[in-house]
Structure 1
């Protein structure tokens, strides 16, 4: 059976099984795109296509990380230099150690936050759907949710551990986006367009929707089945979210992955020096495992590679041992909150994306489909 027939069959079965209303998958090797195809619908009527626009959510993070590493390469900022000169707000952050009955235990962070910490999820930043104490604090203090894109959502939220002493998936890339804007003197959208999107030909990736007629709708999986969710990020946010604010297409995102796999260059455009990229792809955190969700409406427990040791690079999650799908050690991968997923091998041997627009995140059926697609590509 050909690769196309295999993946087409996997996608069709997932639709028949009610995993989601629609998907689009793309994969490439060093030389060419080896698969591009979808199943189901993107908005109830239109088929998924490689130029269907979807909310990238946390797949934004890897793109913003590349923009930050470009500034590191130019000597504008160091990975291990305290970032308080650029982001003085970080100097005033407090650590939430827990609660004494009704009283939060807060103290000032003792360790300066660095860019490396923010990129590798070791800065102490968190997400409320992964921390009961943080969720309680934000609710009691009426701090906006991360999806409201108000500065108070990051500035007024405490850290969940002392910077540099732990590993927890968090919103540190929001701070990175703010730092890029301040260091360059221009808004994050303009900077990403000129330094990442235009060189790669990512014509449909932006903060905002470039063509509403191609927009996929988000659906929620409920006990009663799939339900359309009227979701869209604020049109006029207080800040551009470096952690989850981009919309884009499968075609655009695969171009970004092909650049990473090719050592920082794509179609003659070099975005990063190969040595900078290689260093960024190494492990920069402790090994971690399943992340327990405290908000089932937002996410299932997160374990994208069950039974496999993983850590954080500066570009996303990396596996520290070979996976059942034969993913080599050091492959960078991550995902977005509406169940989009990607992988890219450090040597560019393979790369792939699976797009859906479905919540809660970390849907077991979508993760299983993604694993099966990857295994087919590597076979």
Structure 2
């Protein structure tokens, strides 16, 4: 293995517009490459160092889906169950219909939202965290908006389509986090700590940082094209309540810490130390393409060409369409500030890539990064 091309790629993007980047490559449970470059703090020219804490954003979704799959495999719920069996507020939903004359009408949904719809982004929700019902819930809870109340607020908003008929990237996994609370009887963050992060020895993957961790939280930036430089932009816009543990975008972590979780999935649900967070059968179900003839046309992001959508993850289904050097079944997801996971059980390969730049250049970086990694093996 020669990872000089991967180091060169990291050097290239950090001399471009990415303030810093870090990548860890684990092959057959051995860390074969770990490299970082750039500045954690551009104003003070502070180099990126080990243990830096950053926002995972949507890479939180992978852990949320694993947690929910644990409850499925333990018999607490089925993918086919109506969500309203556990959360009654989702029993009678309205669907927003736009008439030929442009008039907007609300009609009763004829399909029930299922647990599967939450996993597969087919419930009909939007990603509007500023929706009227959510704003109202923030006010009524004095800015706390606990996870369960967030889901109740989402249920008050009209659906964009009949559940199961389209794919739309949305707050499905935030509702899934609330469902985990209801079914398990534990606060979502507590469930993750007791069932996943604690057993795997992940001490830095949390919704709320302690004082020591706060000191390692590094600045977040957004690239300004007019000024031709990255401008500091801290905070997580998806966390609209102080007590909201967002299953869609709320976790913070480090490269080393989250790699422990990803590598357990590469091990088909079991870590090298023998800690099992999921069965092999559940991992296979997770990375199976769940798109169908109705939903596939909606999953049309250019950089996802050749990939299907599993239970909360992209999954590689066509090399000819993707142009990717990874094998079929390679899966993972990414986050709004640019972090990305590559999970490949068949090759025994785990890649944890991180950066902290909103408008992350994901379509440019991530496809190239994946090909460079595989070329180095």
Q: Given the two structures, how large is their TM-score scaled by the length of structure 1? A: 0.85
| Equivalent residue, structure 2, for 1:329 | 328
Shift of 1:187: 0.6
Moved more, 329-338 or 96-105: 96-105
Q: How does 1:1-379 map to 2 (within 5 A)?
A: 2-3=2-3, 5-18=4-17, 20-44=18-42, 45-98=45-98, 103-128=103-128, 138=131, 141=132, 143-144=134-135, 150=145, 151=150, 154-210=154-210, 211-223=213-225, 224=227, 225-232=229-236, 237-266=242-271, 267-286=273-292, 288=296, 302-305=301-304, 308-322=305-319, 323-377=322-376, 379=377
8 Å CA contact 2:64, 2:173 repeated in 1: yes
Residues 223-254 of structure 1 show CA distances to partners (whole Å, capped at 9, x for unaligned) of 21211113246595343111111111111121
Pair 1:374–1:168, CA change in 2 (3 A): farther
Structure 2 residues not aligned, in runs of 5+: none
Shift of 1:372: 4.5
Describe the SS at the equivalent of 1:42. Answer: strand
Moved more, 366-375 or 223-232: 366-375
Number of equivalences:
356
8 Å CA contact 2:55, 2:252 repeated in 1: yes
Q: Output the CA distance in 2 between the equivalents of 1:145 and 1:36.
A: 45
Shift of 1:209: 2.4
8 Å CA contact 2:133, 2:153 repeated in 1: no
Structure 1 residues not aligned, in runs of 5+: 130-134, 293-301
Q: Aligned-pair RMSD on alpha carbons?
A: 2.8
Pair 1:364–1:83, CA change in 2 (3 A): closer
Q: Output the CA distance in 2 between the equivalents of 1:14 and 1:368.
A: 13
Q: Given the two structures, how large is their TM-score scaled by the length of structure 2? A: 0.86
Pair 1:245–1:21, CA change in 2 (3 A): same
8 Å CA contact 2:333, 2:342 repeated in 1: yes
Moved more, 367-376 or 343-352: 367-376
Pair 1:49–1:189, CA change in 2 (3 A): same
Shift of 1:284: 1.4
8 Å CA contact 2:286, 2:312 repeated in 1: yes
Residues 83-108 of structure 1 show CA distances to partners (whole Å, capped at 9, x for unaligned) of 21211121233222236777532222
